[in-house]
Amino acid sequence: MTDKNDEYWMRYAMALATRAQENNEVPVGAVLVHDGEVIAEGWNHPIGDHDPTAHAEMMALRQGGKALENYRLLDTTLYVTLEPCTMCAGAMIHSRISRLVYGARDAKTGAAGSLLDILHHPGMNHRIVVEGGLLAEECADQLSEFFRLRRAQKKALRQTQREDQ
């Protein structure tokens, strides 16, 4: 059931993804909403922090726990620009968010239905309402552009190195 504010919050998450990109991180952003208000936000920074768990979702969940002073984030919705991986999906289950809305699907590591479906596994003790594909094309374009630029930078660097030899 799509909420009338879902597009607004996804665009907010996309702006957070831009912050990741500005720091040469994969542009993924996440915003955690409770009662129509932002209680937490995050963007990718595992490279800069040297932390494999510093995904946008994890940052938002950590902040959300502090904001609510509870590790259970009941009655919250997490908006994220890219389908969560298994680590992030597991954290969502443990945090007891109510709803996940994501943008682009991730066929390589997506754990909300694309590669795996951790969130709907019958053995899980918590169910999360999942809605994928919101502004999917725009979210995917943001990621594609980042990787296109990164490939171009690597190609230019290799060319420069060859010329220096």
**Three-state secondary structure along the chain?**
CCCCCHHHHHHHHHHHHHHHHHCCCCCCEEEEEECCEEEEEEECCHHHHCCCCCCHHHHHHHHHHHHHCCCCCCCEEEEEEECCCHHHHHHHHHHCCCEEEEEECCCCCCCECCCCEHHHCCCCCCCCEEEECCCHHHHHHHHHHHHHHHHHHHHHHHHHHHHHC
Q: What pLDDT is recorded for position 23?
A: 95
Kindly name the residue from 7, 25, 37, 57 that is annotated as catalytic. Answer: 57
CA–CA separation, 25 and 88 (whole Å): 17
- Which residues participate in the annotated binding site for Zn(2+)? 55, 85, 88
Q: What is the pLDDT of residues 115-129, one digit of tens each?
A: 999 999 999 999 999
- Which residues participate in the annotated binding site? 55, 85, 88
Q: Is 163 a catalytic residue?
A: no
Kindly report the average pLDDT of the chain as a whole number: 95
Q: Which domains does the chain have, with CATH numbers?
A: 6-164 (3.40.140.10)
Q: What pLDDT is recorded for position 1?
A: 58
Q: What is the pLDDT of residues 24-78, one digit of tens each?
A: 999 999 999 999 999 999 999 999 999 999 999 999 999 999 999 999 999 999 9
